[in-house]
Structure formats: C-alpha cells, structure tokens
Amino acid sequence: MNIFQIAINNLKRRKIKMLFLIIGLTVGVSTVIALFGIIESMRLELGNKLDAFGPNIVIVPLSEELELNYGNTTVQGVTFEVKLLTQRDLPLIKSIPDGDSVNIISPKLVGAVTVGNKKALLVGVEPKNEFIMKPWFSLRELSGIPEGGEITDLALLELPADGIILGSNIAKAYEAKTGDVLVINQRNFTVTGILNEMGIAEDGLIFANLSVVQDLLGKPGEFSMIEVSGFCNFCPIEDMTEQIATVLQNARVSALRQTAMLRDEAINRFSTFGFMLSGVILLIAAMVVMTTMLSSVNERTLEIGIFRAIGFRRKHVMEIIFIEVLFVSVIAGIAGYIVGSVAGQVAGSFLTQIQTGPSIMQLQNANSSIVDAIKAGFTLSAWNTALIAPAIGLSVIISVLASIYPAIKAANMDPVEALRFI
C-alpha cells in the first residue's frame, strides 16, 4: 500500500470530518467568488447607467486668451484666434481608435437673441440626441396635450422647424404657455413644450432645432460646443479624450471626471467592505481546517506510531497529511466556484439591487421567489470560467497553510510514546 492509498483510506474512514472540512472551505471560497461576481456586476451596471446619464466629454472651440495692460487698467480674458467647430468635425470623433465606445454625439449652437424687447439665450440642438443624453429633462407642458394628459417622452418628441422648448424660468419670465407665439430676432416661433423646473442653468434657456438656430444666427454648419457620451466600462475616458483632441486640432477637449469618480468611489467602498468580509470568512475557514486536522492527528496517534515504527520517515507522515488536505481542498475549490458563481449571479440582484442578467430581471418582474431565482441560477450561461483555477488555488493555499502545524506535529510524534496506546 502506497502513501496515496493510505491518505484516501483515511478520508474514507472519516467521512463526517472531511465533509465538515469541505463545507468550511466551500463557504470561504464561495464568498470570495460571489463577492467578486457582484462587484464586477456592479462595475458594469453602474458604469452603463452613468455612461448613459449625460455627457462625459465636452468639446469647445480652441481659443487663446491673455491679459491686456493698458496704462493702469488691466483687461482680463481677451480672446483671440478663436477656432470653429463645424459639421466636418463630427465624423472625426467617430474615427478615433475607440470610436466604437462613442455612444451619443450632441452638437449645439448657443447665441444671444432678442425675444420681444428682452434678451435671452437660444440653444440649437438635435432634439433626439440631446434629450436621450440628458434623461433628467422632462416636459411640464406639451402643445396639443390637455392638462392631465400623458406627455410624450422628450426623446421621442418631433420638434417642428418653427417650434421651441422653453426652460421653466424663461417661461415664467414671458408668461408663456404652449401654443403661444414668440418673436425671436423678428421670426415667429411657437412654444411646443415647457420643461419642468430642474434648478440648473437650463431653466433659463430656449431650445430649438440646430439647423434653424444656425440659420437664424447666420452661422451655418457651426457649433458652440459638442457633448459626447461614451461607453467607458472598457475604455478609460481619458484615452478617448486624448484621441479626440488628436483628431480635432481646432478644439479643446475635456473629460467630465465626476462620472468616473462617482462610479469608482461607489465600487471601491463596496469592494473594500466585501474583501474585508472575505478575509474574515477565509480566516475562519483556515481555523476550521487547522482544528479538524489537529483533531484527526490526535485520533490517529496509534496509527502514526505504527507507521513510524515500521520505517515511515517524518516526510512520509507529512505527505499523508498534505495529500488528504489537497484532495479535500480541490473538491472544496470546485464546490466553492459553483456555489459562489450562482450566488453572485442570483443573490447579487437582491443584495445590491443591481440586475446581473436577463434571467434575474425576468424573475424580479414576475415577483418570483428566491427559490425560483436559485434554480434559475444554474441555467445562466454567463459563468466566468476564468475563476475556476483561482477558486481551487485559494482553497489549496488556505488548506496547506492551515495544515502545516498539524503535519509537523504528526511528523514529530515519538513512535515509542505513540505505541504506548496499544
């Protein structure tokens, strides 16, 4: 009988203890795998939501500024050599190496206009792109919709050529309602909609079709700025910013870091908590392994004494202990990967309120039970097979480290003292 067979026979004789050992290791490994899956789901889901929630790159015309000293007077912010953003620049944004990560491009032209006898800011936009990019915009009133009626989503609104949308403050200033006609730079426009109050600068703006505003201001094909929304889960926003700046030599390109900072802060906080929790659970799992193996060594005092008496060396005794541990830890690693993957995909939506897959979304919409969700977890196809090796490796490392002391104790056992138990 060789050492491997001895180790397997020992495991067979102590099924309950080995099962307890496997369960302890499985809990530790599955916790790490589940938390990793939840964190990755959070990163993707939160990133997708933030990418869709407004622009994260702003492009403005390049210009030079300086201070002018004239006598004792300093004139600040003198602008010269102002470049122009034009229609020709839009295809260049899509041509960058990470062009596939560009979601929405929303050019706009801003200009001061005369409305009646007052001055106001008119913004020319491409309505669909602008309002899809900024979903927090909503209509309080819409022309043709009676009070209390259902108002069309802004992203679906077809703005007529002579139609305008007023911010809440500008509507109050002119006491305007939908259907009213306002004269802007001696041209008639009909109020198509009025926005809800948002408490931001847009409350004081007038929105119209971009081509109409370009014609009204005498700036055909020109833009005051271009806002870009990019999918940046797999592409750092800074990279896209540099690439756009390279192809648009006439522009200053800036990344709105608040989006990335918000995402990273939320995920990092959860990650820190999750890995601290994982560390505690893994420590408990290691203590379970050590306690179980010490108990096994104490129970096998006579057996180990006989092995030593018939010529087994210390390294042979240690090899038996480590073979047992390795066999158990591999099983626990595989089990931990399976349990952790299911938990990460199924329980993640309940723990973090983030949908981790279509099956989960369907279960939530149908108000299915947690049991149904767990069953559905085994049918999900998005298993991260790259985590199998780390799961097994983590289980093996914990087990081996926790078994060093029991193995040394068994190897150093005096065969004469052990045989006294006969």
Output the pLDDT for position 147. Answer: 66
Of the candidates 288, 264, 234, 244, the one whose C-alpha atom is nearest the C-alpha of residue 399 is 288
Of the candidates 96, 97, 93, 98, the one whose C-alpha atom is nearest the C-alpha of residue 129 is 93
Residue 273 has φ and ψ, to the nearest 5°, of -60, -45
Of the candidates 99, 157, 160, the one whose C-alpha atom is nearest the C-alpha of residue 130 is 157
By DSSP bridging, strand 205-209 and strand 118-125 are parallel
Of the candidates 57, 130, 69, 38, the one whose C-alpha atom is nearest the C-alpha of residue 98 is 57
Q: Are 101 and 232 in contact (CB under 8 A)?
A: yes
Distance (Å) of CA 287 to CA 131, 327, 398: 57, 18, 10
Output the pLDDT for position 355. Answer: 42
- For 368, the token pair is 């299915």
pTM surpassing 0.85?
Answer: no
Distance (Å) of CA 170 to CA 136, 164, 174: 18, 12, 6
- For 156, the token pair is 């679906």
Output the pLDDT for position 387. Answer: 83
Of the candidates 294, 326, 328, 301, the one whose C-alpha atom is nearest the C-alpha of residue 407 is 294
Tell me, what DSSP letter sits at residue 44?
H
Residues in the chain predicted with pLDDT less than 70, given as ranges, are 1, 42-55, 64-82, 147-149, 231-236, 257-264, 266-267, 347-383, 414-422
| Residue 160, phi-psi category: left (phi > 0), alpha (psi -120 to 50), beta (remainder) | beta
Cα angle: 169, vertex 170, 173; to 5 degrees: 90
Tell me, what DSSP letter sits at residue 291?
H
**Sign of the alpha-carbon dihedral angle for 259, 263, 264, 269:** positive
Output the pLDDT for position 367. Answer: 43
- For 165, the token pair is 């949308």
Of the candidates 62, 216, 225, 60, the one whose C-alpha atom is nearest the C-alpha of residue 130 is 225
Neighbours of 389 (CB within 10 A): 11
- For 319, the token pair is 């090899």
Output the pLDDT for position 109. Answer: 95
